[in-house]
C-alpha cells in the first residue's frame, strides 16, 4: 500500500517538472467535471456509490477526419466506505488516419483529514495499455514512393500510467494529476513520437442557497434546492504551445436539472445542459463554438454524456437518528407551548 502511494506522489513530482505548455495529444472533454475520472484517478472512491458512464465527443463537426473521442468507465468506492476506490476505463479516439484505443485499471486510497470526516484527501494511480493504429491506405499521397506509406496499417502499443491527488470537501474540491507519465516512445517506422506527459489542475466551489427541503416535522432543514458551482481546469504538457484554461459556471436546480457555460482560453465558448432522474440516470450535452478561424469551416463541437448509478448511497444512520431526535424535540416543544397557552386561558 505504501509503495503504491509513494509511486503516485513521486510520479506527480516528475511530471510537474515538465515545461508548462499544452498540446492536444489527449482528448478534451468540455464536461470535465462529469469526466473527472478521465483526468484524475484520485477521484475514484471519493463518493460512496458506484457509477458507470459513457462519453462521446465529436470535435469540429464538418471537417473530414476531425478528432473524435470516447470513454466508457465503471468506478466506485469499495464496499461503499470511501476508503478504497477501484475503477476501470476504456478510452479511444480518432484523428485523421490515427486511431487510439486503451484500457486502464485504477486504485485510489482516501484519508480523513478532519474528525468530522468532511475534509478528505485521495491519492490515485492508474495503469494501462494503449494501442495506436494508422491506416495508410486511406492517405492521400502527394509524393509517390514515400517509404512511410508502403504498408497498409501501422500498429504500435505502449504501457501507460496516470497519477493524481484530490483534496475535497462538500463545499469545495481541488485536484492535481499527471497523465502519460511514462513518456513511452511509440516505435512507428522512421518516427520519434512519444507519449507526452500532461498535467491537469482543477478546482471548484459549491454555493447552495434557496428554499430548503424539510423533514417529517416540517422544520428539519436538510438540503438547499439551488446550487451554483464555479470551476476551472488548467492543462499543460511539455510541448511548445501555451497553457490552456477552462473556466466554467454551472447552476443546478433541486439536483435534477442544470445548465452551464465554459470559456476555453483563445479557443471556444461552450454551453452545457444536463438532467438527473431519481439520482440514478444522468444525461448531459455540451456544445462548443470556436473563437478562432476554425469556425469558418466547422459548425462546432458536440459532446454527449450518459451515466447510471449502479449502487445508491447507504443510509446515514447517524443523520437519520439526529433528524429523528430533532423532530421529537420539536414536537415536545410544540406540546409544551400548547399546554402553556391552555393554562393561560384557564
Domain ranges of the chain: 2-314, 318-346
Q: Is the pLDDT of residue 292 over 70?
A: yes
- Give residue 148's pLDDT: 53
pLDDT score recorded for residue 168: 97
What was the pLDDT predicted at 10?
A: 45
Task: Please answer whether residues 59 and 30 qualify as being in contact, where contact means their C-beta atoms are separated by less than 8 angstroms.
Answer: no
- Mean pLDDT across the chain: 81
**Strand ranges (E), the chain:** 50-61, 68-77, 84-95, 98-112, 120-135, 153-168, 172-179, 198-205, 207-214, 221-237, 244-253, 257-264, 268-277, 281-290, 300-311
Q: What global pTM score does this model have?
A: 0.78
The torsion region of residue 82 among left (phi > 0), alpha (psi -120 to 50) and beta comes to left
Q: What is the reported pLDDT for 215?
A: 54
From residue 103, give the alpha-carbon distance in Å to each of 7, 158, 181, 264. Answer: 20, 11, 15, 28
- Burial degree of 305 (CB within 10 A; 0-12, 13-18, 19+): buried
Alpha helices (H) in the chain, listed in sequence order: 2-16, 36-39, 317-345
Model confidence at 11, pLDDT cuts 50, 70, 90, reads: very low
Cα 260–263–199 angle (5° rounding)? 105
Using the predicted structure, report yes or no on whether residue 295 has a pLDDT greater than 50. Answer: yes
pLDDT for 304 beyond 50: yes
7 vs 124, higher pLDDT: 124
Output the pLDDT for position 52.
95
Name every residue whose Cβ is closer than 8 Å to that of residue 30 and which is 6 or more positions away in sequence: 57, 246, 262, 264, 270, 272, 286, 288, 301, 303
Q: Which CATH architecture has domain 2-314?
A: Beta Barrel (2.40)
Decide if pLDDT at 67 tops 60. Answer: yes
Amino acid at each position: 500500500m505504501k509503495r503504491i502511494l509513494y509511486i503516485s506522489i513521486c510520479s506527480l513530482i516528475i511530471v510537474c517538472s515538465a515545461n508548462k505548455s499544452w498540446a492536444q495529444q489527449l482528448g478534451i472533454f468540455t464536461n470535465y467535471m462529469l469526466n473527472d475520472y478521465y483526468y484524475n484517478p484520485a477521484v475514484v472512491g471519493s463518493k460512496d456509490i458506484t457509477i458507470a458512464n459513457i462519453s462521446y465527443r465529436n470535435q469540429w463537426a464538418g471537417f473530414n477526419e476531425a478528432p473524435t473521442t470516447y470513454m466508457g468507465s465503471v468506478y466506485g468506492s469499495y464496499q461503499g466506505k470511501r476508503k478504497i476506490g477501484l475503477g476501470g476505463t476504456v478510452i479511444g479516439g480518432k484523428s485523421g488516419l490515427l486511431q487510439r484505443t486503451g484500457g486502464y485499471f485504477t486504485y485510489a486510497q482516501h484519508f480523513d483529514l478532519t474528525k468530522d470526516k468532511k475534509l478528505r484527501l485521495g491519492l490515485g494511480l492508474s495503469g494501462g495499455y494503449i494501442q495506436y493504429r494508422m491506416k495508410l491506405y486511406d492517405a492521400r499521397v502527394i509524393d509517390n514512393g514515400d517509404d512511410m506509406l508502403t504498408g497498409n496499417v501501422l500498429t504500435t502499443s505502449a504501457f501507460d500510467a496516470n497519477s493524481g491527488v484530490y483534496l475535497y470537501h462538500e463545499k469545495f474540491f481541488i485536484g492535481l494529476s499527471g497523465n502519460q507519465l511514462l513518456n513511452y516512445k511509440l516505435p512507428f517506422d522512421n518516427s520519434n513520437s512519444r507519449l507526452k506527459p500532461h498535467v491537469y489542475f482543477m478546482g471548484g466551489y459549491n454555493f447552495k442557497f434557496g428554499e430548503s427541503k424539510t423533514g417529517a416535522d416540517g422544520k428539519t432543514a436538510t438540503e438547499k434546492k439551488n446550487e451554483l458551482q464555479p470551476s476551472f481546469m488548467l492543462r499543460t504538457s511539455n510541448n511548445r504551445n501555451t497553457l490552456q484554461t477552462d473556466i466554467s459556471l454551472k447552476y443546478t436546480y433541486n439536483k435534477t436539472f442544470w445548465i452551464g457555460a465554459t470559456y476555453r482560453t483563445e479557443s471556444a465558448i461552450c454551453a452545457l445542459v444536463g438532467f438527473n432522474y431519481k439520482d440514478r440516470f444522468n444525461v448531459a450535452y455540451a456544445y462548443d463554438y470556436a473563437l478562432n478561424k476554425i469556425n469558418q469551416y466547422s459548425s462546432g463541437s458536440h459532446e454527449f454524456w450518459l451515466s447510471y448509478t449502479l449502487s445508491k448511497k447507504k443510509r446515514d444512520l447517524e443523520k437519520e437518528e439526529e433528524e429523528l431526535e430533532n423532530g421529537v424535540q420539536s414536537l415536545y416543544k410544540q406540546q409544551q407551548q400548547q399546554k402553556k397557552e391552555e393554562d393561560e386561558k384557564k
